[in-house]
Copies of this chain bind each other. A is one copy, B any other.
Amino acid sequence: MLVFAQFGAGRIGAIHAANLAASGAARLAHVVDVHEAAAATLAARHGALASDAVTALRDPLVDAVIIASSTDTHADLVIAAAKAGKAIFCEKPIDLSLARVDQALAVVQAAGVPMLVGFNRRFDPNFAELHRRIAAGAIGAVEQVVITSRDPGPPPLDYIRVSGGMFRDMTIHDFDMARLMLGEEPIEVFATGSALVDPAIAAAGDIDSAMVLLRTASGRMAHINNSRRAAYGYDQRVEVHGSLGRLTAGNRVATTVEQADAAAVATDKPLPFFLERYADAYRIELAAFIDAVRAGTPMPVGAKDGRQALVLAEAALQSLRDNRPVRVA
């Protein structure tokens, strides 16, 4: 049994704690949250203690931490957990500042602790299978990737204001997916965006609609389209073109029911949002973390992946501001 301390008792924290309990391979010992009531409730549900960070990290029984608190606390907690020698499962992004990410990762590296960054979509069975087929050569050499990633509705303006902007908050997942599917690092980013959904988002200094192009050294290309609104649900699709064919992974639906009537032939809308669409992904992700910690094998999504997606997000932001393609190291 791997023993966990978890930081963050919010929506995503509740998911991780439940998956941890159901995994049969781990036990939650501490829950830490600035909202003490939330921590207490979640801790009680899983037979854990509502603790503070220092207590949780000093507990020698704790093997690993889940960092699912607000983004601005991630880097500090990563550093503290690394210094305490704990294996780290950290929700994305590690931090909104690349400098701060590098600081944290240096500590992680020095401590030699394993770290997984929470790009949950890599564990979505659909995207994972698509990637498996690429790796198996099903479509030959990858040439182009098209990623559709659209939220059902925008988050509150208060969240948008501290989110680091759409590219760091939302597109960051797609940058990770693009890297994974391209099989080669993007070296250049061009991004364009507008506030088409809500002018208040523009007033808050952000965009809500974006299109991005990525290019690799060998000439592979990726396109990402994003919107903070999709009337029909959460739209999450990946399409990869290779020399021998095309692979697509589409949305999941609640049921296979089809209704044909005088109006149309209608099927289910995509699952509403990430909690539903990525329920399996969250479960598999945590299990993969537990397995890798126990087996001492490399993390399926490592610290470098967390950093590189942020590098692309920052380049996209720069591209948007300057209206030019931006090179990335």
A250 to chain B, nearest CB (A): 4
The contact of A144 among B144, B227, B241, B267, by CB within 8 Å, is B227
Residues of B within 8 Å of A227, CB to CB, are 143-144, 241
Q: How many residues of A contact B (CB 8 A)?
A: 70
From residue A307, how far is it (CB to closest CB) to chain B in Å?
A: 24
A218 smallest CB distance to B (angstroms): 8
- In whole angstroms, how far apart are the Cα atoms of A125 and B325 in the complex? 37
C-alpha gap A194/B264 in the complex (Å): 27
Q: Are B125 and A262 in contact (CB under 8 A)?
A: no
Residues of B within 8 A of A249 (CB): 255-258
Indicate whether A268 reaches chain B with its CB closer than 8 angstroms.
yes
A109 at the interface (CB under 8 A from B): no
**Nearest Cβ in chain B — how far from A205, in angstroms?**
15
User: Could you tell me which residues of chain A, from 193 to 223, have a CB within 8 Å of some CB in chain B?
Assistant: 194-197, 209-211, 213, 215, 218-221, 223
Please indicate the chain B residues that have their CB under 8 angstroms from the CB of A22 in the complex. 22
Taking CB as reference atom, which chain B residue is nearest A222? Answer: B211
With beta carbons under 8 angstroms apart, the residue of B219, B261, B325 that contacts A195 is B219
Cα(A251)–Cα(B269), bound, Å: 17
- A residues with CB within 8 A of B: 22, 125-126, 129-130, 133, 138-139, 141, 143-144, 146, 148, 150, 188, 190, 192, 194-197, 209-211, 213, 215, 218-221, 223, 225, 227, 229-233, 235, 241, 243-252, 254-270, 323-325
Between-chain CB contacts (< 8 Å), 15 pairs: A130-B255, A138-B261, A146-B225, A223-B225, A230-B246, A231-B246, A232-B260, A244-B262, A246-B260, A247-B257, A247-B258, A260-B269, A265-B270, A266-B267, A324-B324
